[in-house]
Amino acid sequence: MKGKGYTPIDREWMTQALLLAEQAGAAGEVPVGAVLVKDGVAIGEGWNQPISTCDPTAHAEVMALRDAASRLENYRLPETTLYATIEPCTMCVGAILHARVSRIVYGATEPRAGAVESQLRLTDMTHYNHKIDVLGGVLAEECSNLISNFFRKKR
C-alpha cells in the first residue's frame, strides 16, 4: 500500500527517521535513517554509515536492526515496525525478513534499487516463511527532498 492509511504515529516515527537521516547527511553519508519500534518504543535506530565504517552492509535499516538485536539480546525482532526514509534495498529486505520484523513503513521509493515496490518486490514473494506488512509513501516528499538536496550539493 502506498501513501494511504498511515497514522499520526507513523508520521511521528518517520519524522524521527528523518532526523537520523539528517545525521547521516551531516556526516557525508547518503541521508537515510531508520527506526525500529515495538509497543510504541524505539528499540533500535540507525543511519547510513557505510563510508565512515568501511562496511558495505552499514545501511540505516541494518544498523537499526543491529541496535535493536543488541539491546534485546535476540536476533529475532517480531512484532516490530521498521520505519525507513527510503524504500529498502535487497540486502536490507533480506535482513528484515530474517529478523522477523512484522511491518515496514518507508518514505520515498528508490526507483533503481528499491526491493519492496520499485524493483524486485521481495515482500510480495510467497516462498518466504515470513510475511511482512508494507506501507510506503509516508512523508515521501520530505524523504525524497533530503536525498535530492544531498546529491545536488555533491555535484
For the annotated catalytic residues, the residue numbers are 61
Q: What 3-state DSSP class applies to 84?
A: strand
CA 43/CA 17 separation, integer angstroms: 13
* End-to-end Cα separation, the chain, in angstroms: 34
**Is 34:46 a contact under the CB 8 Å cutoff?**
yes
Q: How many Å apart are CA 129 and CA 9, to the nearest integer?
A: 28
Which runs of E-coded beta strand occur in 29-112?
33-38, 41-47, 81-86, 103-108
Q: Cα 133 to the chain's mean position, in Å?
A: 13
User: What's the DSSP call for residue 144?
Assistant: H
C-alpha cell at 63: 544498523
